[in-house]
Every structure is written in structure tokens, then in C-alpha cells.
């Protein structure tokens, strides 16, 4: 009962939208490569469970991230087969944007790291240069008629590298001015706690007039606690992945995402509508585990504590 009361304490109740990222963040570190048909099977199961926004891949070099090969074709198949699903993908540079345009994608995530060392590993340049590049890409994507979500990686700090909140707020404002329709705050390193989430969300919400979403890594219970803290702070958009899959390849031990089925179950217990069938999500997680040849859920507490 106390958790239910806390979830509605903002006075801004209402449904949440979960963006499932199993096919992108969830798979990117997995050693067993899935076929295009295997990925499409997962997309079908997610859609049947009620998911209405799927991030189906990254438009990155498949030599660096082999699991992301064929993302454009997967975009085309999902858009054709699952017309009720909003399909999105992640791009990090101009080449990725060009691929998104050719695929016919209408919603695109463009992402930049605010931690300098992480940005150099992830994008090949420092955080300032990467932000400048992505700001230009946001404007170009908008000119192409795309709805753009701008992601701020390491918004809660990198792996041993603090990121001042004023830097996060300034970057969010810059990306919104360029045309971003949504700002995604990512706990890439899995270091944040609920109080950190509430503080940063409040500061960014006061600075920009677009919806915020959260991308949370870390041990299962803490990631779920951060998700509920974000809800209390007014966030209604959250990234999730079946079975808690995922994590950053450049931050070892960061932990996976909030599990789609666990997020749906927790919100249901609080009376928060998601439009999702928890049992169907559990079946989708079991199917994904069979495709990957391993159990999905890590033991509670595993991660970057």
C-alpha cells in the first residue's frame, strides 16, 4: 500500500509507455547471433503482448556489433508485418542517419555520451565534439520528417567519471532547440539510485518542455526502484528489455535493463495502466531464452554495486 501511495504522490497519475529494447540493447552483447527470422519472432511476440513501441536495432557497423547486422531489413519487416507497432532504431553518426533514411524509418533515436572517456570508446571522439555532431544530426533528421528522441548516455555519471547536472541540462536544452521531441536520460553505468533519478529528472523537466524517458541499467531491484522513482518524478516513458537483457559493451558490469515483464507486473500491482499482458511477456522472455540458449534473468543483486 505504501508503494502504491508513493507511486501516485506527484499528482500526475496515468498510464506509462514502455519502449522494449530487447532487439537492440538486449541483444548487442549476446554471443549467440540471432537470425533475422528469430528477431522477427521476438517482435511478433512483443506486439502480441501489447507493446506499441519497439527499438529493433542499431544502425552501426556490424563488424563492431555483429548482432546488429540487417537492422534496416528488420525495420522494413516489422513496419510491414506489425503496422500497429511504432518502430525505432538507434543511430550514432551521419552514416547511421543515412541508413535510417533509406530504411523508411519514421522514428529515430540519436544518442550521445556526456562522459568524455565513454564517448571516446563509444563514438571515437570526446563528449563535446560528439554533442555537436549529434545536434546537427537531430536537425537533419527533423528535416527528413523523422520524430527524434535524443539520448543522453551517462547522464548520471560514467564509470568513475562524474557528469555535472548542469552539463546534462545544457545538453538537453541544446538538443531540444535542434528539434528533439523527447529526451532520454540513460544510467549507462548503472550507478544511480532513486534520489539521483528524482533530482536529475526534476532539473531537466524544469529546463525543457518535451517528454522525458529513462533508460536504466543496474541490479534488478535497484533498477526497478529507479524506475518507480522516475514515475514519481513525472516520467511516463521507460526503456525495458525482456528478462533484463542488455548492458553497455563499454562499461563492464553495468548491469542489464529493467525487465519488460517485471516493469509491467510492478506497474500493474500499483494500478498503473501499461496495456501489456504480463503472462504473454513472460512467454516471450522464455522464447527469447531458448533462442539465446541461456536463462535471461540474472540473480538479484548482480550488477555494478
Tell me which residues are annotated as active site: 248
| Cα dihedral 71, 72, 73, 77 sign | positive
For 246, list phi and psi in degrees, rounded to 5. Answer: 110, -170
Which of 189, 121, 202 is CA-nearest to residue 152?
A: 189
Q: Tell me the C-alpha distance between 226 and 187, whole Å.
A: 10
Q: Tell me the C-alpha distance between 251 and 122, whole Å.
A: 10
User: Contact at 8 Å (CB) between 223 and 240?
Assistant: no
Contacts of 303 (CB under 8 A, 6+ apart): 190, 217, 218, 219, 220, 222, 223, 253, 254, 255, 256
C-alpha cell at 77: 519487416
User: Contact at 8 Å (CB) between 38 and 56?
Assistant: no
DSSP codes, 219-270: SHHHHHHHHHHHHHTT--EEEEBGGG----TTSTT---BPBHHHHHHHHHHT
For 148, list phi and psi in degrees, rounded to 5. Answer: -115, 130
Q: Tell me the C-alpha distance between 271 and 284, whole Å.
A: 23
Q: Tell me the C-alpha distance between 261 and 125, whole Å.
A: 36
CA dihedral 175→247→32→77, nearest 10 degrees, is -30
Amino acid at each position: 500500500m505504501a508503494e502504491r501511495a508513493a507511486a501516485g504522490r506527484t499528482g500526475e497519475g496515468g498510464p506509462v509507455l514502455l519502449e522494449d529494447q530487447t532487439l537492440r540493447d538486449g541483444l548487442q552483447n549476446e554471443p549467440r547471433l540471432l537470425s533475422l527470422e528469430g528477431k522477427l519472432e521476438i517482435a511478433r511476440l512483443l506486439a502480441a503482448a501489447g507493446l506499441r513501441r519497439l527499438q529493433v536495432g542499431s544502425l552501426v557497423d556490424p563488424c563492431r556489433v555483429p548482432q546488429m547486422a540487417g537492422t534496416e531489413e528488420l525495420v522494413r519487416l516489422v513496419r510491414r508485418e506489425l503496422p500497429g507497432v511504432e518502430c525505432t532504431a538507434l543511430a550514432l553518426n551521419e552514416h547511421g542517419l543515412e541508413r535510417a533514411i533509406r530504411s523508411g524509418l519514421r522514428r529515430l533515436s540519436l544518442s550521445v555520451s556526456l562522459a568524455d572517456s565513454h564517448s571516446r570508446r563509444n563514438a571515437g571522439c570526446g563528449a563535446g565534439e560528439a554533442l555537436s555532431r549529434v545536434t546537427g544530426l537531430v536537425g537533419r533528421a527533423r528535416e527528413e520528417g523523422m520524430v527524434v528522441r535524443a539520448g543522453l548516455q551517462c547522464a548520471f555519471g560514467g564509470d568513475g567519471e562524474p557528469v555535472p547536472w548542469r552539463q546534462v541540462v545544457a545538453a538537453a536544452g541544446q538538443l531540444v532547440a535542434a528539434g528533439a521531441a523527447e529526451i532520454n536520460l540513460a544510467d549507462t553505468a548503472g550507478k544511480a539510485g532513486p534520489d539521483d533519478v528524482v533530482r536529475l529528472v526534476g532539473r531537466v523537466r524544469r529546463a525543457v518542455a518535451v517528454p522525458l524517458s529513462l533508460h536504466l541499467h543496474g541490479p534488478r531491484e535497484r533498477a526497478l526502484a529507479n524506475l518507480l522513482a522516475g514515475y514519481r518524478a513525472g516520467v511516463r516513458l521507460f526503456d525495458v528489455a525482456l528478462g533484463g537483457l542488455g548492458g553497455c559493451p563499454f562499461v563492464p558490469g553495468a548491469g542489464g535493463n529493467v525487465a519488460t515483464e517485471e516493469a509491467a507486473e510492478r506497474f500493474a500491482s500499483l494500478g498503473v495502466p501499461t496495456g501489456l499482458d504480463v503472462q504473454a511477456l513472460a512467454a516471450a522472455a522464455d522464447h527469447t531464452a531458448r533462442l539465446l540458449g541461456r536463462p535471461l534473468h540474472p540473480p538479484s543483486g548482480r550488477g555494478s554495486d
